[in-house]
Structure 1
Amino acid sequence: MADSTDKARMIAHCLTDAEFEGVPGFSSNKVRDAYQLPDRRRLLISTDRQSAFDHVLAAVPHKGQVLTQTARYWFDVTADVCPNHVLSYPDPNVVLVKDLDMLPLEMVVRGYLTGSTNTSPWPMYARGERVLYGHRFPEGMKKNQPLPEPVITPTTKSAQGGHDVPTTEAEILSTQLVTTEQWHEMARKSLALFARGQQVAAEKGLILVDTKYEFGLDENGVVVVADEIHTPDSSRFWIADSYEERFAAGEEPESLDKEFLRLWITSQCDPYTEPIPPIPDDTIIEFSDKYIALIERVTGQTFNRPDPALSVRARIREALAREFPEYF
């Protein structure tokens, strides 16, 4: 087990930015840095930055590599369900993708009544609301209980730094935020991707609880899944073997996802009204271990941890220089 010095060193060596001079079209969001190339291609680089409750809070060792490689696995095993934006993987943290015309919705699919954020169904339900995102939820449900069937709880995508806003199918269709045809295709593909995800997760001893999908239109107007898919940042995964016992006892499920950090934060403060305290190194390393445990369980392969003596940023720069020498 790593001692406190090793943990601090691991955190200090995290990839916190991936801006490289000379590569065009740089932009940055909470987790990923991106480059808009001139030929309708984009580079997405997953850093180790960690966000929660709309704030970047820490850096988590190996997180960017886990996200990219987890999404790679799921893009591969769902390619027959829905086309995706991937072109190639120049580096374990980097994916080269088609530049899509993104559709302004996040398609959140939920199979269980759970969550800890203000836009999650459980806090709404606990406040007495029963019509959530246009769906009527039964009386008498408990936290972490399966829903009668998966539902889509869409949100409108926020501008940089803003909050996603809950919406409903009726509002989307009445405002034509997307066309009626696009909405139905996004809904169909979202539920199909979720069904495949639940099937594959179950084979790995996991429950895919909920997730979000983002879609865009390719050069032919086809609805394509983009961004990431079934990663621990965008999804909840529970350990199947212990779920029933822990649910019966009123305990939180064993999770391998971002909810671990959200629950730690809400145990320390109200993240919507109070400052979020610094996250201890032990908690960050435990969080990193959960992400690694998830990718190893999903893929059935040992996670290839980078050599701590080598700079991830330098490795990425070398990979980009090989792939795009015109910018270096």
Structure 2
Amino acid sequence: MTVDGAALPGYDLAYQGKVRDLHVPEGATLETADVVLMVASDRVSAFDHALEPPIPGKGATLTAMTTWWLRTLGDEAQLAGDHGPGGDALARIPDAVAGRALLVRRLDMLPVECVVRGRITGSGLLEYRETGAISGVALPEGLQDGDALPEPIFTPAWKAPKGQHDENIPFDRVVELVGSEAAETLRSRSLEVFARGAAIAASKGLVLADTKLEFGRDATGAIVLADEVLTSDSSRYWDAEALEAGRVESFDKQIVRDWLLSEAEAGRWDRSGTPPVLPAAIVERTAARYAELLARLLG
């Protein structure tokens, strides 16, 4: 099997998403594999579209961020083996994807994207302006873009099959999808991870505005935090000092979103067809902000 033109000895490609690829040991499937090689590519997506060109170094940055957060939060159940220096898992990761791949346990993923919002912005702001609520959670009147919510809220989405748009859903719908006990676990765990992540981010001069988490069941049935965790692809991070001064300086792909929106407003993209190619300046700025966020978190 190959990825980005480089051979991955011992693995077969089992699934390719907009950003991440899942590989399994040769001859296995996602249903039978004991472990899965999760590779973060440099691809970038926005508004449910894969974009060109990729963001250099993005895959390695996201992988380092996820690993750091899992260890910082003490929630490493999805990792298979030791990912530390000289660890067993590292020895099983092909050189071609070293630094941007994790060897993970196979989970039965739950079909819910667990979004937690501490600030109102993005698609949540649009829904709020239309309904006064987000995913069925009623909010105070008069909130403006970037405002802090009275408290973080759980605003789940149904994880649609590949090629379809995810759909914001109320908590009752989560209960229908996964059962009442699992739904309560998803909500409480998501709010807990966000609270801890936001506190740590604040200590680094950052505001964690929102995040998207995913969970799956392991072989014992336990619900485990999975996929990427508190990365600049799954979260909005803002500079706290700039926000205090009334400016939003983001450390995520908001740079890409804003440029695409400007293209749509100028009539150069209808938001449904093939998106325009990202200019070199946007690619460079995005790569730099991803790298800066990682440095600030780890520094």
Q: Which one is further off, 253-262 or 16-25?
A: 16-25
How far the C-alpha of 1:236 sits from its partner, in A, is: 0.3
Give the residue type in structure 1 aligned to 2:15.
S
Contact 1:238 1:256 in 2 (8 A): yes
How far apart in 1 are the matches of 2:101 and 2:49?
23
How far apart in 2 are the matches of 1:161 and 1:19?
27
How far the C-alpha of 1:131 sits from its partner, in A, is: 2.5
Give the residue type in structure 1 aligned to 2:79.
V
What is aligned with 1:68? 63
What is aligned with 1:291? 290
How far apart in 2 are the matches of 1:19 and 1:233?
26
Q: Aligned residues, how many?
A: 272
What is aligned with 1:94? 101
Match of 2:152 among 150, 153, 168: 150
Give the residue type in structure 1 aligned to 2:45.
S
What is aligned with 2:23? 35
Contact 2:156 2:174 in 1 (8 A): no
Deviations 1:3-45, CA, capped at 9 Å, x for gaps: xxxxxxxxxxxx8466636513532111111113344210001
Contact 1:17 1:47 in 2 (8 A): no
Structure 2 length-normalised TM? 0.86
Deviations 1:152-181, CA, capped at 9 Å, x for gaps: 1101111112111111112222xx210111
How far apart in 2 are the matches of 1:208 and 1:35?
31
How far apart in 2 are the matches of 1:107 and 1:234?
11
Contact 1:269 1:276 in 2 (8 A): no
Query: Is residue 243 from structure 1 mapped to residue 250 from structure 2 by the alignment?
Result: no
Contact 1:18 1:45 in 2 (8 A): no
Q: Percent identity over the alignment? A: 36
4+ runs deviating over 4 angstroms: 15-19
Instruction: Quickly say closer, same or farther: Cα 1:260–1:217, change in 2 above 3 A.
Output: same
How far apart in 2 are the matches of 1:238 and 1:16?
32
Query: Is residue 106 from structure 1 mapped to residue 100 from structure 2 by the alignment?
Result: no
How far the C-alpha of 1:221 sits from its partner, in A, is: 1.0
Secondary structure at the aligned position of 1:177 is classed as helix
What is aligned with 2:207? 207
How far apart in 2 are the matches of 1:45 and 1:195?
28
Q: Which one is further off, 21-30 or 136-145?
A: 21-30
Match of 1:269 among 264, 272, 287: 264
Instruction: Quickly say closer, same or farther: Cα 1:140–1:74, change in 2 above 3 A.
Output: same
Query: Is residue 77 from structure 1 mapped to residue 83 from structure 2 by the alignment?
Result: no
**Which stretches in structure 1 are left out of the alignment for 5+ residues?**
1-14, 301-328
Instruction: Quickly say closer, same or farther: Cα 1:141–1:299, change in 2 above 3 A.
Output: same
Query: Is residue 24 from structure 1 mapped to residue 31 from structure 2 by the alignment?
Result: no
Secondary structure at the aligned position of 1:163 is classed as coil
**Which stretches in structure 2 are left out of the alignment for 5+ residues?**
84-89, 91-97
How far apart in 2 are the matches of 1:143 and 1:57?
26
Q: Which one is further off, 265-274 or 185-194?
A: 265-274
Match of 2:124 among 121, 126, 143: 121
Q: How large is the RMSD of aligned CA atoms in angstroms?
A: 1.8
Instruction: Quickly say closer, same or farther: Cα 1:141–1:19, change in 2 above 3 A.
Output: farther
What is aligned with 2:49? 55
